[in-house]
Every structure is written in structure tokens, then in C-alpha cells.
Structure 1
Amino acid sequence: MAAIGPSLRPARMWPGDVVKVGAVGLRTRPMRAFLSALGIAIGIAAMVAVVGISSSSRADLDRTLASLGTNLLKVSPGQTLTGDEAQLPNESEAMVARIAPVRTVSAIGLIDEAKVYRNSKIDEAETGGIATYAARTGLREAIGARLRAGTWLNEATSTYPATVLGSAAAEKLGISQAGPATQVVIGGELFTVVGILEPAPLAEELNSAALVGWPVAKSELGFDGHPTTVFTRSDDASVEAVRSVLGATANPEAPNEVEVSRPSDALAARQAADEALTGLLLGLGAVALLVGGVGVANTMVISVLERRSEIGLRRSLGATKGQIRTQFLAESLLLSALGGAGGALIGSLVTGGYAIYQGWPIIIPAWAVLGGIGATLAIGALAGLYPAVRASRLSPTEALATT
């Protein structure tokens, strides 16, 4: 028996041909294709928007909880065996900075004899309870303090008679503005008020304090250089581990004479909120994808039923079962891709608009966008597989008989 010649073999479909054939159903029924893609897009947009809005909300929550000191630890001197007040070594701040998970370290040092007055005419007994602290330039970042007026201490002003007042100290001194013309008396010396802080909830002792630079505190106010509180911020996951070694690191010779604060309860609340939101996102995303898959399957089944005559005609003209199957599977994937891409765009826009309205940071996880489109294609392939197989099994005579 003679071999079948090349002219009798079915034509091979290249990727470009597959896309063109798969797009036939979308072009000939644009309204149905649009509505079907819209249904998929709504599902994906809902998933992306829910994930994006929840992520943005979580970022805002994390920012709020961070301001409450979830990862802030304080090291301060305790008492000696004889009951006297202990002292942290001058090098404690530098030693704590060597702990690997610690991201930020700063310190303050109380200057007992440096009393604060509005001017030199005030009676020495009327201190108003305002304390003076030597402060590192990185203190504001470590405790998350905000300025009400003026500027914070820097490398230059730390060496000169300049001070930043806490919120309560400024009120007691009757000072509302900072600048070269505003001065107070600290330890008998005139200091220029360069800044005023907002209330600092993480370091309340600073609200009723005057803060001066570490170098000028040593040169002008007799500061001995011993810190009275060392502030550290660490990675959230490492807070407990850091806390366990802080005492021995800050004062290796007498770790029992060091007090270390416990982590904030807000850290546990933050971790619980993250776990709850993650579970919620996964559940809502799965529901949205399921809805989109059902929409694709429904559309493709109806498309096969309506196009039986087209399938029969193509089979009569030589199209193989595999080519019919490929055509409807490609159509399902194109429909899913259009809906997925459109939904990702809509969901991203909704997330951005809502986050801006709420004043949140805009967070749209890449995994939500790419995962949504990828999952839509996978579900579209599964949803279109049965209609594609069903279409390929129709014989030409059976399909044309329904015309």
C-alpha cells in the first residue's frame, strides 16, 4: 500500500496559528467574550484588591505598632549587691551595637547637677522638675520621637551649647518656638533651644527633659560619659534572643547589675494580626479564583454547544481531533489571560486609590498580581479542557447534523 504523501498529512499548527485560531471565537462573539472576561476580571480584581488593601492596611498597622516600640528594648543600670545604684560602662553602647540582629543603638546619660532654668533670674529651688540628659544624635530615630519645632541635634550642634526640649519641659519653661533668640540656662551656662519634641511615648522621661549633645555635656556640664539608658531596636523575630544577651553584653563584668525591659505586648499582637490576615487573604483569593474558573468553564461549554456546526465543518475540511482540542483550549487560555490581566490592573488601581484615600502606604504584592494571572491561566486550562475534549470527539457527520 502506498504511503500517504505529504499533501495528505494534516497541516501543522505553529504557535502563531494556535493563537489566531483560538482568537476566532473571541472575535466572532465579542460581547460574550467581553462579558466572560469581565466576570473573570472581577474575580481577579477582587482578589488583588483584597490582598492589596489588606497588605496596605497591615503595613499601616505595622507602622503604628512599630511606633509603640514592638522591637524596642531598654538597658538601664540596676542595683549593686550592697543596694547602691549601679553604673553602665562607658563602652556599653558600643558593645551592644555588636549584637548581630540589633539594627539601631542609641543612649542618653543623666546629668544630675545640670539644672534647667528659663533664665538666670530664677531661684535655684524652682527647677520645675526638668532633668538634663546627654543624648546621642541617633536617639530620635531609636525612640521614634517627632519634632514639634526646630531641628534635632546633629554632629555640629552636639559640640556647642544647644539643646532640644521635651514637650512638657518646653511648656514648663514657657517656650513655644525654637531658634537663635531662644535660650535657657543649663548648669549655669546659656544654651540655645534648637528644637522642641512632640510627646515621646516610648521614652516618657524625655518629655520633661532638656537634651544636649554628648560632647558638649562632657566639656561644659561635667558629664562623666556613663549612659543611664541604652535603647536598641532589633529584628522582630530576634527580639527575645537579643534580650537574653543584652545584660551580659552591656556590662560583662556585672550582668546582674543591669535591667533589661521586656518586649512590648504589641509585638505579640502584631504577629497574631499577621497570621490572621494571611489566612484571610488565602481564603478570599481561593474563592475569587474558583469563581473565575467556573465562569471560564461555563463560557467554554456554551461555546462548544453553539459552535457544533463550525466544529463539524472544520473536521470535514481535515482538521484533526488534536487541532480542535487545541483551538478550544487556546480560546479558553486567551479568555483567561484577558480577564486575569484586566482584573490585576483593576485590582491594583482600586488598591492604590483606597490606600491613598486612607493615608496608607500602597502595598501591592507582586505575588498577588503574578500569582493571580498565573492561577487564572491554570484554572482556565482546566476549565477549558473538558469542553475542548468534548469538541474534539464530535464526528463531522454528528456535528453537521445539528446545523
Structure 2
Amino acid sequence: MSGHVPEAPYRRPGTRRSGSRGRHIRLSPLDILRIGLLGLRTRRARAALSALGVSIGTATLVVVTGVPAASRQDLMDQLTALGTNMLRVEAQADADPPVVLPQRADAMAARIGPVTAASAVGNTHAVVRRSDRTDPNDALGVSVLAARPDLLGSVGGELRSGRFLGRGDLPVAVLGSRAAVRLGLDRPGGEIYIGERWFTVVGVLEPVPLAADLDRAVLVGWSAARAALGFDGHPTVVYVKAREDLIEAVREVLPATVHPELPGLVQVSRPSDALAAKRATGNSFSALFLALAGVALLVGGVGVANTMVVSVLERRREIGLRRALGAGRRHIRGQFLAESIALSALGGATGTLLGMAVTAAYDSWQDWPVVFPPLAPVGGFLGAVAVGAAAGVLPALRAARLTPTESLAAV
């Protein structure tokens, strides 16, 4: 007989004894987490520094993905403003005999699936004058166009003042930015003489970069143009907006859609060169920044691993006492692994919030839209937890291999 005394089973107060060996002891995940958090509470300074390393890595991950995402979105918005999703449809100018678009060409274009907006203007060939006493031959270089009520949405136009045209046949007009200067009317309320009829100015447009011809035009309602100016109702230009990813496909079917009888005599503008630039820019940001964020997160994980290894060395007496009281190896492993994961989760949550706050502040300072990639905050937190779990595996295994004898003997 060697006089060996078997280990006393470790048993929580209130639990039923299920056997004489420590391997039968049952600890719930909540118990293991509570024991793991005890180590963080007793070594707050070390835990705080380790969590700081993880939080810096996580915040870096959120910032280096969030800031480029906002910058990219701002660039995409600027490129979209250049008309990457807009097409211009008109009849061939030199056709013999002359060709006109059908009266409902814009409505026909709107029926194409990827089309998001379609509107039209038509040249009335009327003459606009400051008053009925000026010379009709005194050209101002201003055209008079009949316009659909939904025109501004299709060309990205905005009103400087007043309102836009309605669907009625009232004699009202909206001035383009240059037309307002040439007519000497910079605000609504004045009157102009078109054809043989007075029209009241109800609005003035801001410059329209996507349709510069509207800047030098006086716009009147479609019905009013037909009633007062002898307009035939055939649009001159149809403006079409469509999904960018299908803009080429829409361009292919537009001629046959708006003029099924003579599709070969319909001209459709090609997509803006800005669309090619926008597509080329789309994937140029991510790889480098994700690599930098991964390195930062790895550095935080190394800090957690170092803290846990030192923790095992410092707490050998605690490990020995728990083992002598019957705690099994799986209990020790669970304790240190839970402590590592909790430490990383704390740092990950703090870093995610910090990164989002810094990103939002920087985006606002740059006048960029505040944009977070869908997986950045969640990925940063889960990445921190995963790094913490991986960093805690080796220290947890090392702690579990310590026997009560060598743990207490080293004290």
C-alpha cells in the first residue's frame, strides 16, 4: 500500500452527489462563466489592459472598414449624379421624311422592367417674349418646351424657388436657370408672353447638369401647350432612368419599345462614362484595409494570450487548491477558457462601440454619408471573441494539466 488518498469529489452546495469521482461533478455553463469572471474582477488592472488591446484591434477593424465605405459611398453618389443611370431617347434628326416619337413614348419606356423613371419634353416651336410689345423676331435663345409633371424626378432637377408644373391646362410656366436670367425674372410671380398668350411664372429651376437644354428653356404644361400653343403632343426627348446593372440591356430594347414601327430611326444615348468609373471603383478599397484590421485584431489576441499565460503562472496555488478539492480538469479548462472569452468579448464590445463612434464623427466631419458595412460591427465583435477563444485554448490546457501536488509545491 502506498498510502495514496483518493481525491475528494468536488461538489457544489445544493447539488446531489452522483459518484465518488470528480468526473461526475456537473457545472452549468453559468457556473463556469461566474468562476471565469471572478478572475477578471480580482485582477482588474491586468484585465483592463488586455481588454484595451482587443478593443483597439476591434475599433481599428470597424474604422478601417467604415471610413472607406463612407468615402466610397460618397464617391458613388457623386458619380451617380453624373447620370450613370440615365438615357436620352430622341428621333433621328436627319431622317427623310422627318420622324417623330409616339405621343406616349415615355409611358411605353416606363413599362420596361428595370426602368425606374421616364418622362419627356416636347418642342412647341413657340416664341417667348418679355412682353407683347417686343419684336417677335428679337430672339432670346430660349426655347419653349412642353413638359410632363414628373420631369424633375427623371432628370435629377431641383427648384430654386416656386413650384413645378401640374397636370392641368393653366397658362403657367417654369423657367430654366439661364432662361430666367435672359428674361429678367429670377423669382416666381412675373408674366411672360408666349405665342399669343400670357403665362404666369410659377417656378425657377436650379441648373440641371444631366439635361443642360432645360437650363435655356421655358417649360409649360403638356395640356396647356396643346390648348394654347398648338403643340401636337409628340415628345422631342424622352429621359429614362434605369437600374445601373441593367442599363445596357435597357438601351438595347428602348428603340423598339418607344417606336415599334421605326426602331432604326430612334437614337439612344450611350451610358455615361462615369458608369465605367463607378464600376471600376467599386472593389478597390476593401482588401488592404481588411488586412490591416486583421493584423490589429491579431495583436489584441496576442495580448489576451499573454495575459492568460501569466494568469496561469500566478494562480497555480488557486488551481492546486481547486484540484485538491475535487475540481476536474474540464472544470479548470472551462474556467480559463471562459475568462479568456469574457475578456475578449468585453474588449470587442467596447471596441465596436468606440469604432462606430469614431467612424460616425469622421464621416460627419468630412460631410460623407455615415455608412457601416453590414458585417463590420458584428464581424468585429465576433472576431474578437473568436480570437479570445483561440488565445485562451493553450493557457486553459496548460492549467488543466497541472496536478494538485505540483501546483501547491510550486507555491
TM-score, structure 1 length as denominator? 0.93
Q: CA deviation at 1:7?
A: 5.3
One-letter amino acid of the structure 1 residue matched with residue 41 of structure 2: R
Partner SS for 1:230 = strand
SS at match of 2:87: strand
The aligned counterpart of 2:381 is 373
The AA in structure 2 aligned to 1:357 is: W
Q: Does 1:51 align with 2:65?
A: yes
Task: Give SS of 1:6's match.
Answer: coil
Q: Percent identity?
A: 51
The equivalent residue for 2:303 is 295
Equivalent position of 1:342 in the other structure: 350
Of the structure 1 ranges 163-172 and 352-361, higher mean CA displacement relative to structure 2 is found in 352-361
Tell me which of 207, 218, 241 is aligned to 1:233. 241
TM-score by length of 2: 0.91
Counterpart position of 2:107: 94
- 1:242-270 deviation line (CA, Å, top 9, x unaligned): 11111111111111101111111111111
- Shift of residue 153, structure 1, vs aligned partner: 2.1
Q: What letter is aligned with 1:117?
A: R
Secondary structure, counterpart of 1:23 in structure 2: helix
Unaligned runs of 5+ in 1: none
8 Å CA contact retained: 2:61, 2:290:
no
Partner of 1:185: 193
Match of 1:162 among 172, 180, 185: 172
| C-alpha deviation, 1:307, in angstroms | 1.9
2:108 is the counterpart of 1:107: no
AA matched with 1:91: R
| Maintained 8 Å contact 1:130/1:169 | yes
Post-superposition Cα deviations, 1:76-114, rounded to whole Å, max 9, x if no partner, equal: 1114753x44211112211111111111111111111x1
Whole-angstrom CA distance in 2 between matches of 1:361 and 1:72: 23
**Residue aligning to 2:4:** none
Instruction: Report Cα offsets for 1:179-238 as digits up to 9, x if no partner.
Output: 3xx111122211111111111111011110001111111111111111111111111111
| Structure-1 residue corresponding to 2:158 | 146
Aligned equivalents of 1:290, 1:233: Cα separation in 2? 46
User: Which residue in the other structure is 1:203 paired with?
Assistant: 211
> 1:130 and 1:86 mapped to 2: Cα distance?
24
Q: Is it true that 1:176 corresponds to 2:204 in the alignment?
A: no
Q: 1:222 aligns with which of 225, 230, 251?
A: 230
Counterpart of 2:12 in structure 1 is none
Paired residue for 1:15, among 19, 29, 42? 29
Shift of the 191–346 alpha-carbon distance from structure 1 to 2, 3 Å rule, reads same
CA distance in structure 2 between the aligned counterparts of 1:318 and 1:289, rounded to whole angstroms: 37
Which of 1 and 2 has greater Rg? Answer: 2
Cα RMSD (Å)? 1.7
Cα deviation for residue 342 of structure 1 reads: 0.8
Distance 1:52 1:162, change over 3 A: same
Note if contact 1:80-1:257 (Cα within 8 Å) is conserved in structure 2.
no
Q: Deviation at 1:159?
A: 2.6
> How big is each residue's C-alpha offset from its partner over 1:283-333, in whole Å with a ceiling of 9 and x where there is no partner?
333333323322222222222222222222221221111111111111111
Corresponding residue number in structure 2 for 1:353: 361
Residue matched to 1:122: 134
- Cα distance between partner residues in 2 of 1:216 and 1:175: 21
Shift of 1:360: 2.1
- Show the counterpart of 1:253: 261
2:3 is matched with none
Contact kept, 8 Å, 2:87 with 2:241, in 1: the verdict is: yes
